[in-house]
């Protein structure tokens, strides 16, 4: 894992832990109301904007081939939409700290990976070609959400663990016709461990309806293209992203039965 990303995750966990401790400390200091006695099934739909990097730089090489294939990812951030649904229940817990668990499904729009292939044996024989491919991903998580009631406002934190289903396809590289051969990769599907971390604010409209806005960080795990060919020969290396990270701003509408 990229050290910088690890640091970001570490910071997020620290912040999340701090929030949890804060809530716990306040609950200890405050008087303890009677716990709620009912489960309240709930359904929530969410949608928002997500952003991720356009790819991950890689250096591919093949034994016996003097050529270096350097895939230099475009480090721009791209925006896509994301939508999701949550089915679960609020637990009979401290009514001041609404706690809900359930299953959630999230699907961002297709991520386009772009970059430049630097292919050559050395500086005198290297050329640049633009490449691109798509990643389609979806997430299925067991999610837990803990809020704090402050009159009608409910700040919350959430965490989800589960699996992501990733599909990388439509690899294309812009090479002038009949100039040279470059590796061509096939489509590939895989699933990977996935998780969410989120925080935000819900607004209680009435006993049944909540509307909220929050931030979420997701890791969709590894996504990679399939088998490559250089002309007619198998190309043993594969173009991949070790982690597909998305930062999201999510709006959510929740109905409690």
Residues contributing to the site for another protein (CB under 8 A): 59, 62, 64-68, 70, 72, 116, 118-128, 176-182, 230-231, 233
Closest separation in Å from C-beta 184 to another protein: 11
User: Looking up tokens 């067991």, which residue turns up?
Assistant: 142
What beta strand segments (E) does the chain contain? 40-53, 58-60, 68-73, 77-90, 99-108, 111-120, 127-147, 153-173, 184-185, 188-204, 209-219, 223-224, 228-230, 233-235, 240-241, 245-256
Residue (72 or 253) nearer to another protein, CB: 72
- Residue nearer to another protein on the CB measure, 70 or 112: 70
Give the residue with the Cβ less far from another protein, 78 or 181: 181
CB of 126 to another protein, least distance (A): 6
Beta bridge partners of 239: none
Least CB distance to another protein at residue 230 (A): 6
Question: Judged by CB, which is closer to another protein: 17, or 234?
Answer: 234
CA–CA dist 98, 153 (Å, integer): 12
164: its two tokens: 């992501």
Q: How far is the CB of 233 from another protein (least distance, A)?
A: 6
């Amino acid at each position: 894992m990229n050290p910088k990303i690890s640091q970001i995750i570490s910071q997020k966990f620290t912040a999340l832990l701090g929030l949890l401790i804060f809530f716990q400390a306040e609950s200890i200091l405050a008087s303890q109301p009677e716990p709620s006695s009912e489960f309240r099934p709930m359904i929530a739909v969410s949608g928002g904007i997500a952003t991720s990097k356009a790819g991950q730089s890689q250096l591919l090489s093949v034994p016996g081939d003097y050529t270096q294939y350097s895939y230099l990812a475009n480090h721009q951030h791209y925006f896509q939409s994301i939508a999701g649904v949550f089915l679960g229940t609020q637990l009979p817990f401290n009514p001041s700290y609404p706690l809900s668990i359930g299953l959630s499904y999230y699907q961002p729009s297709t991520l386009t990976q772009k970059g430049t292939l630097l292919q050559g044996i050395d500086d005198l024989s290297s050329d640049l070609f633009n490449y691109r491919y798509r990643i389609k991903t979806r997430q299925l998580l067991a999610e837990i959400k803990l809020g704090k009631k402050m009159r009608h406002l409910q700040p919350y934190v959430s965490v989800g663990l589960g699996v992501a289903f990733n599909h990388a396809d439509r690899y294309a590289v812009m090479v002038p016709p009949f100039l040279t051969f470059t590796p061509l990769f096939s489509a590939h599907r895989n699933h990977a461990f996935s998780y969410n971390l989120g925080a935000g604010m819900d607004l209680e409209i009435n006993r049944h309806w909540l509307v909220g806005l929050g931030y979420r960080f997701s890791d969709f795990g590894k996504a990679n293209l399939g088998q490559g060919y250089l002309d007619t020969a198998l190309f043993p290396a594969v173009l991949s992203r070790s982690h597909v990270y998305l930062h999201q701003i999510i709006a959510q509408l929740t109905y409690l039965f």
